[in-house]
């Protein structure tokens, strides 16, 4: 069973603004407004793939019912803990002329220690040994990287498998938990390398070549079992003790609607393969196809089954 844990959920609003520029009066149209956050996006993608999951974490009291209803009729169940305050708003501005996306992120509720205690108890009560808990997204005010790591370690101590997709200090803290899976992008992989070497944070060194990414990932295998590294248009690399695989699927630039949430879809597809007990190569193939399918839609973490099935046939995976 997969349980997604989003500590800092969001309400995503996507607006299309042709010829976007600063200042002046512009015309636009709202494409969608939906419950979001990395784990929410992952559970939504899993539901599209007919994979069951529980979506949990925190949500502002004002949006609790909307988050629950957003998964009605799907194979995803919600177990969000409502906290005082408002769920943050994230706005994406799409310019179909320049083919750009601009993101505006707000702050939301504050999480108190008793809320973390309630989440810890809920996770312990409603998951079982062997379940995958996907800890993902940014940390809300009130949750320190140390508290985040403590939550992961507590659940691992109960026999749960932890997958992590976050950034910055939270990512560095999670590395010390030795999770079974981490999904960094290029710059986040550099953050992990510095954390493993106990170096001071600095501007990431560019991992330009694929061989650089592979070497960096291999250097971390003592601290994490598997690394799923997202590479944007270049696909993704899966690095584990069993070997290294690269997967890619070409999407024409003109067909790309938005890149927001593509990494979430990548992780969802990979985890779907794990849940279905597919081979490593096939798990990566499913992940890359889902990430590519997400690029064809304007909303974060939205995929269509028909797109995934078509792109699966076009996704190439090779062992390197």
Question: Could you tell me if 261 and 231 are in contact, meaning their C-beta atoms sit under 8 angstroms apart?
Answer: no
* 14: helix, strand or coil: strand
CA 93 to the chain's CA centroid: 20
Strands (E), the chain: 2-6, 10-16, 29-36, 53-60, 76-83, 88-95, 100-105, 132-136, 161-165, 181-182, 226-230, 236-240, 243-248, 316-319
d(CA 165, CA 39) in angstroms, rounded, equals 9
> What does the buried/exposed string (b/e) look like for 116-152 if buried means 16 or more CB atoms within 10 Å of the residue's CB?
beebeebbeeebeeebbbbbbbbbbebbebebbbebb
Number of helical (H) and strand (E) elements in the chain, helices listed first: 10, 14
- Neighbour tally for 232: CB within 10 Å: 13
- The one catalytic residue among 54, 90, 101, 264: 264
> Partners of 16 in the beta sheet?
29, 94
d(CA 48, CA 50) in angstroms, rounded, equals 5
Task: Mark whether 264 is an active-site residue.
Answer: yes
d(CA 207, CA 189) in angstroms, rounded, equals 9
**Active-site residue numbers?**
264
């Amino acid at each position: 069973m997969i349980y997604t844990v989003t500590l800092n959920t969001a309400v995503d609003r996507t607006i299309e603004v042709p010829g976007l520029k600063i200042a002046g009066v512009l015309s636009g149209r709202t494409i969608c407004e939906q419950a979001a956050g990395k784990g929410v996006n992952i559970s939504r993608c899993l539901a599209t793939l007919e994979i069951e999951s529980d979506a949990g974490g925190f949500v502002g009291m004002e949006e609790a019912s909307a988050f629950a209803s957003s998964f009605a009729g799907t194979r995803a169940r919600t177990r969000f803990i409502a906290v005082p305050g408002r769920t943050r708003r994230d706005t994406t501005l799409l310019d179909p002329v320049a083919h750009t996306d601009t993101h505006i992120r707000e702050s939301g509720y504050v999480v108190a220690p008793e809320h973390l205690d309630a989440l810890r108890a809920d996770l312990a009560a409603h998951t079982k040994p062997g379940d995958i808990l996907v800890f993902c997204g940014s940390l809300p005010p009130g949750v320190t990287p140390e508290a985040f790591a403590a939550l992961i370690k507590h659940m691992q101590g109960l026999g749960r498998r932890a997958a992590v997709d976050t950034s910055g200090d939270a990512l560095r803290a999670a590395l010390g938990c030795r999770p079974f899976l981490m999904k960094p992008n290029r710059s986040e992989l550099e953050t992990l390398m510095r954390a493993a070497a106990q170096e001071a944070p600095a501007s990431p060194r560019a991992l330009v070549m694929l061989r650089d990414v592979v070497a960096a990932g291999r250097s971390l295998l003592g601290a994490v079992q598997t690394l799923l590294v997202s590479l944007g248009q270049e696909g993704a690399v899966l690095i584990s003790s069993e070997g290294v695989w690269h997967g890619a699927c070409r999407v024409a630039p003109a067909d790309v609607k938005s890149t927001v949430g593509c990494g979430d879809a990548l992780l969802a597809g990979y985890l779907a393969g794990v849940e279905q007990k597919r081979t490593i190569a096939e798990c990566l193939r499913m992940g890359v196809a889902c990430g590519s399918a997400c690029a064809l839609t304007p909303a974060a973490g939205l995929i269509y089954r028909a797109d995934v099935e078509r792109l699966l046939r076009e996704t190439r995976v090779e062992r390197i």
